[in-house]
Amino acid sequence: MIDIKFLRENPEAVKENIKKKFQEDKLPLVDRVIALDKENRDTIQEAQNLRTQRNALSKQVGILMGQAKKSNDPAKLEEAERLKRQVSDDAQRLAELEKRESELAEEIRKIMMVIPQIIDPSVPIGPDDSANVEVERFGEPVTPSFPIPYHTEIMESLAGIDMDAAGRVSGSGFYYLLGDVARLHEAVLAYARDFMIDKGFTFCIPPFMIHGNVVEGVMSFADMEAMMYKIEGEDLYLIGTSEHSMIGRFIDQILPESSLPQTLTSYSPCFRKEKGSHGIEERGVYRIHQFEKQEMIVVCRPEDSMDWYEKMWRYSVELFRSMDIPVRQLECCSGDLADLKVKSCDIEAWSPRQQKYFEVCSCSNLGDAQSRRLKIRAKGSDGKTYLPHTLNNTVVAPPRMLIALLENNLCEDGSVTVPQVLRPYMGGKERLTPAKS
C-alpha cells in the first residue's frame, strides 16, 4: 500500500509501476483515486469552513440574544433567530459532508489496498515466474548413480508416513509422520530455531489465529482469498504463516527507534487452502493444507531494510548448506511479486530425483506497506514518527526441507544419512535405515 500523497504527486510513476507488474487492468484506479482524493479534500475543507462559521455564528447569536434582552429590541431578536436557523441549516449540511467524507475515505482505502507497492529498481521485469532470474548457486548438485524414489516412497520405506490414514481422517493434503521421519521433522525445526537464536534473533511462538483487520494489513485481498481459512462465525482466520501474527503484533504501535531492528524467529503450524491444480511433483508433502514452519521477521529503519534483506536470504543459504543441501538464489521478477512486496527472492534446493531445483524459502522486503496498513510507526530521537520497513523469510518448512534432505542424503542401500548438525537433535543417530517388511 503506497502513500496517497506519493500517488497524488507522481501518478505517472505509479502507472508505470503497474505496467511493470503486468496489471494494466488497474491503471484506471490511479485516476479514480486522484478524483476521489480531490473530492475528499474539498469535502473536508467545506466541512471545516462550516465548523468555523458555526462557531462564529453561535457566538454572534449569544451576543444578539443578550443585547435583545437588555434593550428589548425586536430587530436584534429577529436577527438572532435568523442566525440560529442558519446554524441549524449548516449543521444539516455538515452532517451530509461528514457522511460523504467517511464514504470517500473508505472507497479510497479499498482502491489503495489493491494498487501495488512500488517495486525496487533492481527487480527484473517479467510477467510471471518463468521470468525469474537465477543469481547464484551454492554447493555442487549431485546426481547419484542409483535411482532416487519419490519422497513419499522414501518415507514409506522408513515406516515414516501414512497418507492413506490421513486421507480417511482429513482428506487430501494431509499426512501422518511417524517414527524416525517424525523425529527428523522435529529435529529440523529445533535446529532451525537454535540456528536463528545464534544469529541474535528472539524466539517467539505467536497466536495461530488472527483478526480480519490483521489479515488485511499483512497481505493482499487476492492472496487472502486463495490462502486463508476463516473460522465460521468468528472474526478469526487460521494463519498461513507466522509472519502474519508476528507483524500483527505491532499493530497501532509506536516503536522507539532505539528498539529497532526487531529481529524475531517464530515457530507455528501453518494452514493454507492451496487453491488450484498442481503438477505431479507436488503430490506427497510438497504442497499441503497443514505444515509447520520456522520463520524470520525483521522490523527496521527504512535505510536498513535492503541490508537486512541481503542478510536474511543468506541465512537460508547457510542453513541449507550446513546440511549439505545444494541451493540456488532465484530473483523474483516484477510479475511474480505479490502486491505488497518491494523485492523478493526464492531459495531453491536441489532435487536429485527431479534433476532440478525447487522452492524451499522465500525472502521478501515489503517496505512500508504492512506498516502503513497496520499503522505501525517508529519514533526517532528527533521526536518525529515514520513508517518502519518489514521483512520476512522462511527459515525452514520441514515438509519441503524433508524432501530435499531425504533425496540429497539417500544412500544406495535405502538408508538416509543424518546430517551432522541434526544428530544432537536425533539422540546421536547417524543413519535412518529402512524398516523390515
Residues 73/134, Cβ–Cβ less than 8 Å: no
End-to-end CA distance of the chain: 57
Neighbours of 255 (CB within 10 A): 17
Output the DSSP codes for 2-19: --HHHHHH-HHHHHHHHH
C-alpha cell at 325: 543441501
**Entry pTM:** 0.88
* Interatomic CA distance for residues 288 and 285, integer angstroms: 6
Cα(109)–Cα(37) distance, rounded to whole angstroms?
A: 10
Q: Which amino acid is at 181?
A: V
Q: Quick one: cell of 10? A: 507522481
- The torsion angles phi and psi of 411, rounded to 5 degrees, stand at -100, 165
pLDDT in tens, the chain (437 residues): 899 999 999 999 999 999 999 999 999 999 999 999 999 999 999 888 888 887 777 677 666 666 666 666 677 666 666 777 777 777 888 888 899 999 999 999 999 999 999 999 999 999 999 999 999 999 999 889 999 999 999 999 999 999 999 999 998 889 999 999 999 999 999 999 999 999 999 999 999 999 999 999 998 767 777 788 999 999 999 999 999 999 999 999 999 999 999 999 999 999 988 754 444 345 678 888 899 999 999 999 999 999 999 999 999 999 999 999 999 999 999 999 999 999 999 999 999 999 999 999 999 999 999 999 999 999 999 999 999 999 999 999 988 899 999 999 999 999 999 999 999 999 999 999 998 75
Phi-psi region of 427 (alpha: psi -120 to 50; beta: other; left: phi over 0): left
Question: Helical H runs in 361-409?
Answer: 369-374, 398-408
Cell of 263: 529481529
Sign of CA dihedral 406, 408, 414, 415: negative
**Rounded CA gap, 365 and 389, in Å?**
8
